[in-house]
Amino acid sequence: MSKKEALLKAAENKVRLGGYSNFSFRELASEVGIKSASVHYHFPTKADLGAELAHQYTDSFLAALGEPNELKANGKNPIDVYTQLFRRALVTDKKMCLCGLLGAESDSLPDKVRLEVKRFFNQNLTWLSAAHLTNGEPNPAQAAIQTVSLLEGAMMISKTLDDNSYFELATQ
Amino acid sequence: MSKKEALLKAAENKVRLGGYSNFSFRELASEVGIKSASVHYHFPTKADLGAELAHQYTDSFLAALGEPNELKANGKNPIDVYTQLFRRALVTDKKMCLCGLLGAESDSLPDKVRLEVKRFFNQNLTWLSAAHLTNGEPNPAQAAIQTVSLLEGAMMISKTLDDNSYFELATQ
DNA sequence: AAATAACTACCTACTGGTCGATAATTTTGC
DNA sequence: GCAAAATTATCGACCAGTAGGTAGTTATTT
């Protein structure tokens, strides 16, 4: 793993625990074994790092999902696959969804970071609409916003109350 | 309004836009016309201020709701009343739910603040369970976590995408 | 020679927090 | 009733620590 990748990984962990202000160049640098000034070589500003982090997070999130109609063709319910990805983030990573956290504080984010968070939710809603469409839902757009809202909310509350059974109950 | 009340009000606005780290004693002080050193007279530490803020927020939130069975007796659906309170926060205040934001970053909060955020959600779940029970829901506890999850999630996404129609679609 | 990736040293701004001092007000003891 | 004592609410000055960011340098690789 390159230093740049290690910096992004370290930043992701910090942000998913406490938001955009929960990481500093100094902390990231010391975690990957370089000096804080060197972080600026890879990311000119903190906003650049945050934006690239959210962008890559979105891409790998969507990539992990696959295509709704392909999932359906393989006998899987794409909504279950989607739910499972959230569950893994909560149970395995024991962390919030990166963009769920950044979205909550989006009013105070640098423009380029906020833009990437918007991209995450727009792409998720598009994916979920397609998924609900293949499931024969009468109103896919509505089902899409309801699905992602429920998952993000349940995740946040389960984290807060430190009890994953709330997530299970909400998604059951 | 006393200085202490003004400080809490100023802090609430800041936190609901960007989280716990989005306010400083200096900012609050200058907004209410005192010096930062004087803020420590009212709140020994930042954690004390944050905890008292979340506590009062929870109390006034619950007070604004009223009792589920009384609402029902007056011909109102308590779940609609609950939804309306979230809608008002989003549409009128144009801000996140204080504890929705703090909950997302609860891993990085001081203990006494996190405790108050937990109290918010525990009390909300109790209220919602009672409300769904009066509505004759077969599984009030499940309906409760689903209601608050959907509302918190829809609120966050509507804020992020800067489009309240997502909230309306999700709650419709 | 040029690009890459790091470094040391430094800057200004801001953070939460502490200190002792200072008025104004309120409470208490005689 | 009144002086002494205590409480309330503020202040200026300061502290150590941390923030993001910059300038110029060095070593390694291409």
**A146 contacts B170? CB cut-off 8 A:** yes
Q: What is the mean pLDDT of residues A143-161?
A: 98
Per-residue pLDDT tens digits for A24-76: 999 999 999 999 999 999 999 999 999 999 999 999 999 999 999 999 999 99
* Candidates B107, B125, B147, B155, partner chain A, best to mutate (most A CBs within 10 A): B107
Contact residues for B136 (Cβ-Cβ < 8 A; gap 6+): none
Rounded-to-integer distance, Cα A6 and Cα A31, Å: 9
**A117 contacts B17? CB cut-off 8 A:** no
A17 contact B CB<8A: yes
Interaxial angle between packed helices A111-134 and A78-91, expressed in degrees from 0 to 180 and rounded to the nearest 10: 140
Per-residue pLDDT tens digits for A15-30: 999 999 999 999 999 9
pLDDT, residue A51, reads: 96
Interaxial angle between packed helices B111-134 and B140-161, expressed in degrees from 0 to 180 and rounded to the nearest 10: 120
A117 contact B CB<8A: yes
Nearest to A128 by CA among A103, A146, A116, A112: A146
Q: Is the pLDDT of residue B102 over 90?
A: yes
Q: What is the mean pLDDT of residues B153-168?
A: 98
pLDDT, residue A1, reads: 79
Q: What is the mean pLDDT of residues A137-152?
A: 98
Mean pLDDT, all residues of chain A: 96
A41 CA: nearest nucleotide by C1': C5
Query: DSSP string of B30-77?
Result: HHHTS-HHHHHHH-SSHHHHHHHHHHHHHHHHHHHH--HHHHHHTT--
pLDDT, residue B113, reads: 97
pLDDT, residue B89, reads: 96
Q: Is the pLDDT of residue B130 over 90?
A: yes
**A105 contacts B22? CB cut-off 8 A:** yes
Per-residue pLDDT tens digits for B48-85: 999 999 999 999 999 999 999 999 999 999 999 999 99
Q: Measure A21 CA to D7 C1' (Å).
A: 39
Pick B105's closest partner by Cβ from A101, A166, A172.
A101
A3 CA: nearest nucleotide by C1': C5
Q: Which residues of A97-128 are buried (b: 16+ CB within 10 A; e: fewer)?
A: bbbbbbbbbbbbbeeebbebbbbbbeebbebb
Q: Is the pLDDT of residue A110 over 90?
A: yes
Q: Is the pLDDT of residue B1 over 90?
A: no
Q: Is the pLDDT of residue B120 over 90?
A: yes
- Residues of chain A with pLDDT > 70: what percent? 100
**A100 contacts B101? CB cut-off 8 A:** no
Pick B18's closest partner by Cβ from A107, A142, A170.
A107
Rounded-to-integer distance, Cα A112 and Cα A129, Å: 26
pLDDT band at A82 (very low <50, low <70, confident <90, very high): very high
Rounded-to-integer distance, Cα A140 and Cα A138, Å: 6
**B156 contacts A152? CB cut-off 8 A:** yes
